[in-house]
Structure 1
Amino acid sequence: MTDDRRDDRRDARGRQRGAARSRGQGHRTSQAPSQRRRATDPARTAAYDVLREVDASDAYANLVLPPLLRERGIAGRDAAFATELAYGTLRLRGRYDAILSRCVSRPLDQLDPEVLDVLRLGAHQLLGMRVPAHAAVSETVGLCRDRVGAGPAQMVNAVLRAVGRTSLSDWLDRIRAEAPDETTALALTGSHPVWITRALREALHGTGRSTDELADLLEADNTAPRVTLVARPGLVEADELTAGDREARLSPGRWAPTAHVLASGTDPAALQAVGDGRAGVQDEGSQLVTLALAAAPLGGRDERWLDLCAGPGGKAALLGALAAGRGARLVANEVQPHRTRLVRQGMRAVPDDAVEAVRTGDGREVGTEEPGAYDRVLVDAPCTGLGALRRRPESRWRRTPADLGTLTGLQSELLGSALDAVRPGGVVAYVTCSPHLAETRLVVDDVLRRREDVERLDARAVVRDVLVPGAEIDLGADDGGAGGLDVQLWPHVHGTDAMHLTLLRRTA
């Protein structure tokens, strides 16, 4: 009887139909297969468009996504979903490429970039977010049909189903087992280029930390940072920071007395103090090194300060507020005119009598043009930005070892200019948002080898002096390079960007 019923369900071409269809109760869509699920939701579309801007225009996601969400009216949970999808995909691109390469029949660089970005977005939903597998696949296929075409959508469907058949932990075990060495395994599973992974291992060792921390460091780079505000001293009090948003919640920073952590879900731009420049969004490590320069011991006058590479202006605004409270004046110098405008905008709340000038100029020339003219000088040197990979995840895929040669030469010139511009007895802070030894200790050592009028200060002692009262900070072993005097912060240890600080005093 069972066989007869099955025969009754076959059509004239011998294809078996479902029970409803055999009784004439089925529904047949009028759409061709290529027209089904042609689109996806606005949040996924926004994330895809951000990835395309990053790839095609070398844009930064943190500059593209917020205005895009505002223009399209994407807010609340949808905005949070789009943000995690875009940033998470960019951070974990290397991991997902290693997985996708095992599910695609040809090398990934032979795929159209648009298709590869769709696959990465689907992989992140399947393996990095709490999205049901069927939704991750169907919505990503719909996105592909809408943005790329029906043909590639079939391939995307097949590949993502293959990805989803294996758990993330099993994928990572497979990648580790097939990697040629431990560093490559960490690089692939931790989603960093191999050369950066090696450099971070060397930096940990060179600053007195254990290389066993490398996996934790890579994981910290792949974790979205908290939004931290700076309350610029003398311009705003802590209890005024949430004005303009009754739902905003703040907690004190861990290290810097000026730092306040904003609870997730609050747009800092909605806060009145941020809007008028009395406060700003600034990493706590960035605040800490700025406070250290202002607190470094100084002999003689303390009247004229210089931020040599001031753009985009966060440190300059904090320095300006500190200078105002001490009766000093700040010169903010920036080589790029558009960044000079950002500095001027960022310093709009600093009292006029504390700002001598916001100007455009080549920092390498200041030491010749104004020798011995300043009491404190900040050199926030252009660098690879390897210390802020959690904040700018696309940077890791753009930087190459070749960048170091150009940057370290520039860093040495800027530091030399700063040391010429500071008076004897004055202090220079050399700062980079990179832990790479070539950009930190080796630059300073190279400059000091050619001078006899500079001494290294104990930056660790100064940083400890400016901490929140009662805070105890782990700065690594005392013999960790530079005689244990320099400071290197780390995302996995301090919850900050990987900021480096060297303090130097000009002698007679």
Structure 2
Amino acid sequence: MNPPEPSRHGPAHNPRRGGRGGSRPGPTPPQRQSGRRGPARAEPPTDAPVDPARLAARDVLRAVRDRSAYANLMLPKLLRDRRITGRAAAFATELAYGACRAQGLLDEIIAAAAGRPANEIDGTILDILRLAAYQLLRTRVAPHAAVSTAVAMARTEGGERITGFVNAVLRRVSEKTEEQWIAQLAPTDPIGRAAFTHAHPRWIGQAFADALGAGAAEIDEALAADDARPTIHLVARPGEITGEELALVTGGTEGNYSPYAVHLESGDPGELDPVRDGLASVQDEGSQLVALAALRAPVSGEDGGRWLDLCAGPGGKAVLMGAIAAIDGARLDAVEISTHRAELVRTSVKGLPVAVHEADGRESGLEPGYDRVLVDAPCTGLGALRRRPEARWRKQSSDVAGLARLQRELLDAAIDLVRPGGIVVYSTCSPHVAETIGVVSHAIRKRGGEAVPAGEVLNEVPRAAAGPAGEFVQLWPHRHGTDAMFIAVLRKPE
């Protein structure tokens, strides 16, 4: 999948534009009311030392804003370097990832409390306000602790002159619960309100609703699941360890659909012996189902064991397909355009019957005649936002058109490379209809071919049918506990 676009902060990327979010708050004194947590008057700040967990979370937010860093890559390294472990590491993770996910919602609340748009506040101070507002609204941290540590950080960054502003804004934030702020600031239309409530840009909420189609009434449930902390999914390497064995060794639970999937509630998977020993790796169960669909779909004629992964980086699906190829006596070619990602694939598939080619999938130079081709195309990644905390605020609706063009070209190349009677599996980790049904329908109109009902290939997955005739599969976090993967299976005309 494509990495997130560089960050741009401003009102256009908030869940709503203008309106009450920038209004100056009134002087109403704070009162305790019901809600997720009662609005609590923040006590006057004192010079409390700032703990390493909060400092780590602040530094992650700063790196995301300043350097377009990825929070899920930045934080684990930072925790290791600073030797932050145990409960402190868990607290830092909750604060950093939670504040990144809720950024747009927090910015609207901060703007209302500050009486000015969030993008007019100095970036370093805004990071501190986001971190403290998240604690006030979405955790059980004592209000005085959230405010006093924020004031201490602000004093370090901007001196005494800024502490009064930070204290005043956070006291106003603490006067209402999250639910009360939402009632005051959210748009009134159902999709806009759902997107605002669950901290998504409105255009992403609309994309989810469009993809749900007849199930659009589930939009609140879908966005809520996308805003929740995901569980860790492992994949057992076929031929080395079974899913059942992996679950016993790690203390996890077996997946619902993939025979190789194991779910863990928390922890660092890199510390697990099976992961360190190469017997297992981290991979969402939905991604495992993509690879399994490419291997299960029936071809016409004999399967000669010539398989292709056309967009292989960073290598997760290539490993699963390659391990099964080793068992079945098949061989897999893996194509990746990026030098860095191609090297990741080579490292991941070491010892498997996989040949890695650094090339553009649209012009790979490979000899046609493959029995099976997987096109896990670069996409907006809207289906995996829960695993990439800051990504939803970096994505732009304008990204979709260019990606859809690339996706059509890659799928066209895959159809050229597969033999008559062979199958092409097209997948994205995005439910956006322009990247999914739109791309596949264009290929069928242009090239002919048969859409093999993906529900028959993955018939163990309930409520996954998508497309005009239910011929495709769309997975959802709220229905299946997976990323929102789209899967289409096409058979080339003989």
Task: Please classify the TM superposition score into its range, dividing by the shorter chain length.
Answer: 0.7 to 0.9
Q: CA deviation at 1:239?
A: 5.8
Q: CA deviation at 1:278?
A: 2.2
Deviations 1:276-319 (A, max 9, x none): 32210000111112111111112223311111110111111011
Match among 442, 449, 464 for residue 445 of structure 2: 449
- Contact 1:175/1:185 (CA < 8 Å) preserved in 2? no
Give 2:121's aligned residue. 111
Q: CA deviation at 1:371?
A: 4.8
Deviations 1:77-126 (A, max 9, x none): 00000001011111111221221121012221111111111111111100
- Contact 1:489/1:496 (CA < 8 Å) preserved in 2? yes
Query: Are 2:395 and 1:399 aligned?
Result: yes
Give 2:467's aligned residue. 481
Q: Give the residue type in structure 1 aligned to 2:405.
A: G
Q: CA deviation at 1:268?
A: 0.9
Structure 2 CA distance, aligned partners of 1:149 and 1:295?
Answer: 63
- Contact 1:305/1:331 (CA < 8 Å) preserved in 2? yes
User: How many percent of aligned residue pairs carry the same amino acid?
Assistant: 50
**Counterparts in 2 of 1:140-159, with a 5 A limit?**
140-159=150-169
Query: Are 2:427 and 1:431 aligned?
Result: yes
Give 1:198's aligned residue. 206
Query: Are 2:104 and 1:94 aligned?
Result: yes
Q: Give the residue type in structure 2 aligned to 1:88.
A: G
Q: Give the residue type in structure 2 aligned to 1:289.
A: V
Tell me which stretches of 4 or more aligned residues in structure 1 moved more than 6 Å: none
Q: Give the residue type in structure 1 aligned to 2:56.
A: A
Q: CA deviation at 1:38?
A: 7.1
Give 1:418's aligned residue. 414
**Which one has the largest radius of gyration?**
1
Q: CA deviation at 1:481?
A: 1.9
- Contact 1:388/1:433 (CA < 8 Å) preserved in 2? yes
Give 2:333's aligned residue. 331
**Counterparts in 2 of 1:9-408, with a 5 A limit?**
37=47, 39-176=49-186, 179=187, 181-205=189-213, 209-238=214-243, 241=246, 248-264=250-266, 266-298=267-299, 299-348=301-350, 350-351=351-352, 354-355=353-354, 357-366=355-364, 369-408=365-404
For the structure 1 residues 76 and 427, does the alpha-carbon distance in structure 2 shift closer, same or farther, using more than 3 Å as the test? same
Give 1:24's aligned residue. none
Match among 438, 455, 460 for residue 460 of structure 1: 455
Deviations 1:396-419 (A, max 9, x none): 111111111210110000000011
- Contact 2:48/2:148 (CA < 8 Å) preserved in 1? no
Q: Give the residue type in structure 2 aligned to 1:164.
A: S
For the structure 1 residues 359 and 277, does the alpha-carbon distance in structure 2 shift closer, same or farther, using more than 3 Å as the test? farther
Give 1:16's aligned residue. none
Structure 2 CA distance, aligned partners of 1:276 and 1:100?
Answer: 47
Q: CA deviation at 1:242?
A: 7.1
Using the TM superposition, name which of 36-45 and 314-323 deviates more: 36-45
- Contact 2:246/2:274 (CA < 8 Å) preserved in 1? yes
Give 2:477's aligned residue. 491
Q: Please, what TM-score do these two structures have when normalized by structure 1?
A: 0.85
Q: CA deviation at 1:63?
A: 0.8
- Contact 2:247/2:262 (CA < 8 Å) preserved in 1? no
Give 1:3's aligned residue. none
Structure 2 CA distance, aligned partners of 1:139 and 1:317?
Answer: 45
Q: Which has the higher contact order (CA 8 A, sep 6+)?
A: 2
Using the TM superposition, name which of 300-309 and 83-92 deviates more: 300-309
Q: CA deviation at 1:272?
A: 2.2
Q: Unaligned stretches of 5+ in structure 1?
A: 1-32
Deviations 1:409-457 (A, max 9, x none): 10000000011011111111100000000000001111222113x2110
Q: Please, what TM-score do these two structures have when normalized by structure 2?
A: 0.88
- Contact 2:477/2:483 (CA < 8 Å) preserved in 1? yes
For the structure 1 residues 310 and 391, does the alpha-carbon distance in structure 2 shift closer, same or farther, using more than 3 Å as the test? same
- Contact 1:118/1:143 (CA < 8 Å) preserved in 2? yes
SS in 2 for 1:437: coil
Deviations 1:214-258 (A, max 9, x none): 011111111011001000111223465379xx8x42111111111
Structure 1 CA distance, aligned partners of 2:120 and 2:370?
Answer: 55
SS in 2 for 1:501: strand
SS in 2 for 1:333: strand
For the structure 1 residues 148 and 251, does the alpha-carbon distance in structure 2 shift closer, same or farther, using more than 3 Å as the test? farther
- Contact 1:372/1:424 (CA < 8 Å) preserved in 2? no
